[in-house]
């Protein structure tokens, strides 16, 4: 079957524990992810969803893997753009690898569909989100608002 994917790698001068906290606690997520609210209890099999600051549901899914402080896998579906929702679920994998005074963060988004509009959309969103995350952890301030 055809597949579309997007991968982004960044190195953040922080600890794996601090990066893990930033990826999994609402206090941090809202700061670097443009005010979204993440609703989940982070247990395998639990529901996961992102709400926009205006209350609309942006994305939904399920936590498939949760291995602190190394790996998160989420089954992910867009909810607010009909053409993206029609493509079904994608997989988002977040992997952390400590390296000296930094942590390598790899985000991979894949979907079992050629020429995915969803993958095209996340390939524009993740760099902005992760730029904010890196800036927040390294300087205490976000780069983009």
- Summarised one tens digit per residue, pLDDT across range 88-103 is 999 999 999 999 999 9
Considering the entire predicted model, what is its pTM?
0.94
Q: pLDDT category, 85, cuts 50, 70, 90?
A: very high
Are the CB atoms for 135 and 95 separated by under 8 Å?
no
| Confidence category of residue 124, pLDDT binned at 50, 70, 90 | very high
What is the homologous superfamily of the domain 4-139 according to CATH?
Answer: START domain (3.30.530.20)
pLDDT band at 1; cut points 50, 70, 90: low
CB 101 within 8 A of CB 67: no
- In angstroms, the CA 5 to CA 67 distance is 22
User: Locate tokens 């890196």: which residue?
Assistant: 134
In the chain, the percentage of residues whose pLDDT exceeds 90 is 95
Residues in the chain: 145
Domain boundaries defined on the chain: 4-139
- Mean pLDDT for 55-72 is 97
Cis amide prior to 23 (ω within 30 degrees): no
Q: Can you tell me whether residue 27 is helix, strand or coil?
A: helix
Write out pLDDT tens, residues 97-121: 999 999 999 999 999 999 999 999 9
* 7-42 pLDDT, tens digit each: 999 999 999 999 999 999 999 999 999 999 999 999
Closest CA to 107 of 23, 2, 18, 15: 23
First to last CA, the chain: 38
CB atoms closer than 10 angstroms to residue 84:
21
For residue 45, how many other CB atoms are within 10 A of its CB? 8
Predicted local confidence at residue 145, as pLDDT: 75
d(C-alpha 92, C-alpha 112), whole Å: 12
Query: How far apart, in whole angstroms, are the C-alpha atoms of residue 33 and residue 77?
Result: 17
Write out the two tokens for 106.
Answer: 């790899």
Residue 144 has pLDDT above 90, yes or no: no
């Amino acid at each position: 079957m055809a597949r579309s994917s997007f991968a982004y790698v960044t190195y953040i001068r922080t600890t794996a524990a601090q990066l893990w906290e930033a990826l999994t606690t609402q206090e941090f997520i809202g700061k670097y992810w443009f005010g979204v609210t993440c609703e989940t209890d982070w247990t395998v099999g639990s529901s996961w969803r992102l709400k926009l600051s205006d209350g609309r549901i942006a994305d939904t899914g399920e936590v498939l893997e949760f291995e602190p402080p190394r790996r998160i896998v989420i089954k992910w579906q867009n909810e607010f753009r009909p053409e993206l929702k029609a493509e079904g679920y994608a997989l988002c994998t977040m992997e952390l690898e400590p390296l000296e005074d930094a942590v390598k963060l790899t985000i991979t988004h894949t979907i079992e569909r050629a020429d995915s509009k969803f993958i095209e959309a996340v390939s524009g969103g993740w760099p902005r989100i992760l730029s904010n995350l890196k800036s927040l952890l390294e300087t205490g301030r976000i780069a983009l608002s």
